[in-house]
Amino acid sequence: MEADFVIVGSGSAGSALAARLSENGQHSVIVLEFGGTDWGPLIRMPGALSYPMNLPRYDWGFVSEPEPHLGGRRLACPRGKVIGGSSSINGMVYVRGHPRDFDHWAEQGADGWAWPDVAPYYQRMEDWHDGGHGGNGDWRGRGGPLHVTRGSRENPLVRAFEDAGVAAGFERTHDYNGEKQEGFGPMDRTIWQGERWSAADAYLKPALRRQNCTLHRCLARRVVIEHGRATGVEVERGGRIEVVRARREVILAASSINSPKLLMLSGIGPGDHLAEHGIEVVADRSGVGRNLQDHLELYIQQASTQPITLFRYWNLAGKAYVGARWLFTRTGPGASNQFEAAGFVRSRAGVDYPDIQFHFLPLAVRYDGKVAAVGHGFQAHVGPMRSLSRGSVTLRSGDAREAPSIRFNYMSEAQDWEDFRHCIRITREIFAAPPFDAYRGDEIQPGPEVQTDDELDAFIREHVESAYHPCGTCRMGRADDPLAVVDPEARVIGVEGLRVADSSIFPRITNGNLNAPSIMVGEKAADHILGRPPLPRDNRQPWINPRWEVSDR
């Protein structure tokens, strides 16, 4: 129970770290994971994505405190409690983020994390298969551990959505993860040969075949810090408390919820808050647990006049057919997450790169599957990407088994409400465009009677949902920044031999889903940990709409 590096968490970043730190055979690595196996059809089958994120076997089951701006609603915050972490229970959507997101990171003090710095790590990690749908392959990676593919796009509604976005005056893009994010086009996903391709599949399982990389199932209780240096992790396993020793470094990759919790349990965080729970202060870092961010989204639903949606499988016989076909052939509807078309647009003139994201689904149903489809319909998930609202993760107690208190403080800025009203109105505009004429029935949600700002706000307050992208709670910045938690090499400021490398170190949330940038953080942090020179910078600039100063499209 001793290694050069001890990694807490086997998720998106943790799996990448385990693989890269162990790949040259010179260093030993122990990965600590509380969750169990990722084997089983509910995880492996992409079409079953709504199940694992709602099962206590696979999900930590976090929920927010009552949200004051959403009528006191408590929103779910699923995090993967399983090998592969949240990459084993997510929607498998692959979005790098916009290059300008990372330039902003660097401006905020994350030196060396601008787009030219991170682009080579995206290329190193990817094995991109364009599926014949085009795109600028020069911007993408080939031969990396993470398979990135596209769906069959056979359902005519998928093409109708893309064409409708263009008909409404927005751009078309053949690869939003390439030079041009802005526009409507195919969705990338982490699915390979009909199965979920998680970070565990890409990185951890190959690493565990090496003699110098092992996985231990246990509950991490705190980081052991002696004379200002992290020397191991105290864990509970089989009812016993023991310490897993780290000869070189401890790396937390336990999620934007559990990483700040572990830091605070270890005495690193806001001094007053730690003292309230009787925890001795090792490093008074007021930024630990602060800066919590997320994406919210709405489901805008339209009835379909043609029986071509996934609703035809929304019955016992249909689900049995989908499941059996996938089980025996790894094909059919079960082999796709069904998010096969995407859109990234700007909310208004003066915004230089997209700040609204669309996922399109040829079914009218909630993401978690809890509300049954009402008949043939389709929907767009839509939401702003860069809310100014900020929340926090704090301790309820000093007990490592107790979930922390999560306060997102959603919709606390007036701009959030304006942005969401705009999201609803432009989605209606897209659904009203000619490419949908052959399919468009009545609006299901919000409903044609919901029109005024007050009516839209009431709908938003009641129906907005998390997109499950929490991040930012151990923000990266310069060492002299009092609110930064880690420096630009992911080292915890004020403690030797301890790093955090997961979505919690994001200075600001990126455009789109967070799995890809979380893996990138693990890839890049590994080079910092090993003292390797960074990969050569890629100085190509992204496409920016020449009309950005005067128009939203």
367-378 confidence digits (pLDDT tens): 666 555 679 999
Q: What is the CATH number of domain 152-186+296-384+412-463?
A: 3.30.410.40
Say how far apart CA 501 and CA 518 lie, in whole Å.
8
| 94 — pLDDT class (breaks 50, 70, 90) | very high
Sequence spans of domains, the chain: 1-126+195-289+471-534, 152-186+296-384+412-463
For domain 1-126+195-289+471-534, the CATH architecture is 3-Layer(bba) Sandwich (3.50)
Indicate the Cα dihedral angle 149, 155, 161, 162, nearest 10°: 50
118 assigned binding-site residue = no
Mean pLDDT, the chain, rounded, equals 96
Q: What is the mean pLDDT of residues 432-458?
A: 97
pLDDT cut 90: percent of the chain above it: 96
Confidence of residue 301 (pLDDT cuts 50, 70, 90): very high
Angstrom distance (rounded) from CA 355 to CA 346: 5
Contact 252, 517 (CB under 8 A): no
Interval 79-97 mean pLDDT = 98
Residue 127 CA to residue 112 CA, distance in Å, equals: 24
DSSP 370: -
Rounded to 10 deg, the angle between the 99-107 and 115-125 helix axes is 130
Question: Mean pLDDT throughout 8-20?
Answer: 98
Catalytic residues: 469
Residue 133: pLDDT band with limits 50, 70, 90: low
Q: What is the pLDDT of residues 472-508, one digit of tens each?
A: 999 999 999 999 999 999 999 999 999 999 999 999 9
What's the CA angle centered on 459, arms 366 and 472, to 5 degrees?
Answer: 70
pLDDT surpasses 80 at 366: no
8 is in an annotated binding site: no
Question: Which residues are CB-neighbours of 161 under 8 A, at least 6 positions away?
Answer: 184, 341, 343, 358, 360, 378, 380, 430, 435, 436
Report the distance separating Cα 18 and Cα 205, nearest Å.
Answer: 10
With cut-offs at 50, 70 and 90, classify the pLDDT of residue 365. Answer: confident
- DSSP per-residue string spanning 92-106: -B-----HHHHHHHH
- The answer to whether residues 502 and 252 touch, using CB atoms and an 8 Å cutoff, is yes
Tokens 């799995």 correspond to 515
**CA distances in angstroms from 380 to 188, 299, 367, listed in the order given:** 16, 6, 11
Q: How many CA atoms lie within 13 A of 345 on its CB side?
A: 28
pLDDT at 68 over 90: yes
Nearest to 165 by CA among 148, 150, 187, 149: 187
* Residue 365 annotated as part of some ligand binding site: no
Q: What is the pLDDT of residues 309-327, one digit of tens each?
A: 999 998 999 999 999 999 9
Q: Where does residue 510 fall: left (phi above 0), alpha (psi -120 to 50 degrees), or beta otherwise?
A: beta
90 is in an annotated binding site: yes
Distances (CA, A) of 477 to 94, 104, 334, 482, 516: 26, 12, 42, 9, 21
Any idea how long the chain is?
553
Q: Is 91 annotated as a binding residue?
A: yes
The Cα–Cα gap between 218 and 73 comes to: 33
Contact 387, 134 (CB under 8 A): no
Q: Which residue do the tokens 């990126």 mark?
A: 510
State how far Cα 1 lies from the chain centre: 31
**What is the band of 357 on the pLDDT scale with cuts at 50, 70, 90?**
very high
Is a pLDDT exceeding 90 seen at residue 162?
A: yes
pTM above threshold 0.85:
yes
Rounded to whole angstroms, the Cα distance separating 452 from 425 reads 11
Bond prior to 404 in cis (omega within 30° of 0): no
The pLDDT assigned to 137 comes to 75
65 is written with which tokens? 């405190």
| DSSP-assigned letter for residue 21 | H
- Segment 416-441 shows an average pLDDT of 98
Mean pLDDT score, 437-451 = 96
Return the pLDDT at 130. 82
